[in-house]
Structure 1
Amino acid sequence: MNKPAPIVAELGRPETPEETAARKAASSRAYQSSQNVRSLIAALIVTLAVLVVIVFAVPRGEPASAPHIDVAAIAADVESTMDRPVVVPDLDDGFWRVNAAELTSGNPVVWDVTIAPSGEDERGFIKLSQAFDADSSWAPQRLNGVAATDTITIAGREWDVYRTGDKGDEQNITYAIGTQAGPDYVLLRGSRSAESTGDVAEDLSAQLESLSEER
């Protein structure tokens, strides 16, 4: 004898086969949904755990400092190669550091030194270029065709002034000055102020006078 189907309280009667199937399907969906939520939470926990391991496993410390460039040693090599003196920025006060120093081949050959402030609160750079056996007609080659528009006297020496304007934007050059020193033309250009560039020019005065005597 078949056992009568139980009466469902919500219905007040036994379930029909269709209602039983629908109830079981809804229960299955609810179970699957809960499993998906649990899986998602578990995945997030694992991800966070891996992140924590990475954060604490990576060595801490100060960023690697820029390599030291021995500009005096490089300048000595260039002087030996060119058989003539080269101009070297004054770094004695510790304000400036050298970012690059090299001899650039071409016509003319150029001794290039890039300096930047060593302090974290200072920005900008100045590039010193000593073009061997050249004059002011060479400078526009390094300044996108900009020619001198004025002159300024620094420590008794006359310097050509180049106002680069929009043409200097690509190289981040906002100001440049140049002077003839014996057989060579020395150009200072960069993103520092006219005053800062003038200070560098003044520091170079003795070396430039020495070069002038070579002519």
Structure 2
Amino acid sequence: MAKKTKAPAIVAELGRPETASETAARKAENSRLYKSRKTVNNLVFSLLVSFGLMLVIYFMMPQSTGDFDQRSVNVAEIAEQSGAGLNVDLAVPAVDEGWMAKSATLKHEDGFYVWRIHFTTADQAYASVTQLFTEDGEPVLEVPGVETYLNAEVLEALEPTGQESLAGTDWTLYDYPNRATDKSNIRFALSGAVGNDAVIVSGTDNAGTIRVLATQVMDSLAVSSDQATGGSAETTAKEAA
């Protein structure tokens, strides 16, 4: 008895059996799609392997923490170099043992200069000194834009909380002891005028420490002024106690 030949399967989309050319085309397309998917998968796998190797190499290498913890710049030297040619005394406070000056810079803004010193205190808190002045010695607070700069760039848009006299100067206080130190550089600040200059002393350490720093700032400016006139300055640090 002769073996019956199986009838070609009917393709639903066509409503009839595939022709030989259609079968060949379908198989070729399936082969192309398979190779394409395989290529993408291989590419993703290769990227993951490469990324993993980069992470391994990164964590195997010694990680430098920089020199910030040990850095302490010479403020007096920077002040002498930066202030050369300017008819102004730059504040160089003689800070207490354990303090580290992280940076001291003199920048020229629109119509005025800004001298800033950033410290790490003995209690590992932050403190800064900012001195604003004009090149010709005119009152800096009369320069357009200075008040805006002070409020936005130095005093973090804080509102004054009081007034006091310290080291022969009248200061405006900014007392915010509950501010988070990871979101602010000011818990306590003093803002005052020294001649025609503006001076702001601020930080995250306690108010007493910032007051002592303010007195040291005033002492340094008094010493500079007396040296220029041949006199001597009297230290007023006891007023901060």
Instruction: State the TM-score, normalized to the length of structure 2.
Output: 0.54
Contact map agreement 2:92 2:221 (CA 8 A) in 1:
no
Q: Which residue does the alignment assign to 1:161? A: 172
Q: Aligned residues, how many?
A: 194
Matched, 1:113 2:112: no
Contact map agreement 2:128 2:202 (CA 8 A) in 1:
yes
Q: Where do 5+ consecutive residues of structure 1 fail to align?
A: 164-171
Contact map agreement 2:94 2:216 (CA 8 A) in 1:
yes
Alpha-carbon spacing, 1:193–1:138, altered in 2? closer, same or farther (3 Å)? farther
Q: Which residue does the alignment assign to 1:76? A: 80
Q: Which residue does the alignment assign to 2:63? A: 61
Alpha-carbon spacing, 1:202–1:36, altered in 2? closer, same or farther (3 Å)? same
Q: Where do 5+ consecutive residues of structure 2 fail to align?
A: 11-15, 152-159, 175-183, 230-241
Contact map agreement 2:93 2:216 (CA 8 A) in 1:
yes
Offset from partner CA, 1:46-96 (integer Å, 9 cap, x none): 212332343344554124446764322122335664577532134544445
Q: CA deviation at 1:177?
A: 0.5
Alpha-carbon spacing, 1:209–1:136, altered in 2? closer, same or farther (3 Å)? same
The aligned runs of 1:169-188 (5 Å cut-off) are 177-180=191-194, 185-188=197-200
Alpha-carbon spacing, 1:210–1:130, altered in 2? closer, same or farther (3 Å)? farther
User: Any idea what SS the aligned residue of 1:62 has?
Assistant: coil
Alpha-carbon spacing, 1:115–1:145, altered in 2? closer, same or farther (3 Å)? closer
Q: CA deviation at 1:210?
A: 3.0
Matched, 1:7 2:8: no
Specify the code of the residue in structure 2 equivalent to 1:32. R
Q: CA deviation at 1:18?
A: 3.9
Question: What is the RMSD computed on CA atoms of the aligned residues?
Answer: 4.7
Specify the code of the residue in structure 2 equivalent to 1:206. D
Alignment equivalent of 1:100, drawn from 78, 93, 104: 104
Alpha-carbon spacing, 1:191–1:205, altered in 2? closer, same or farther (3 Å)? closer
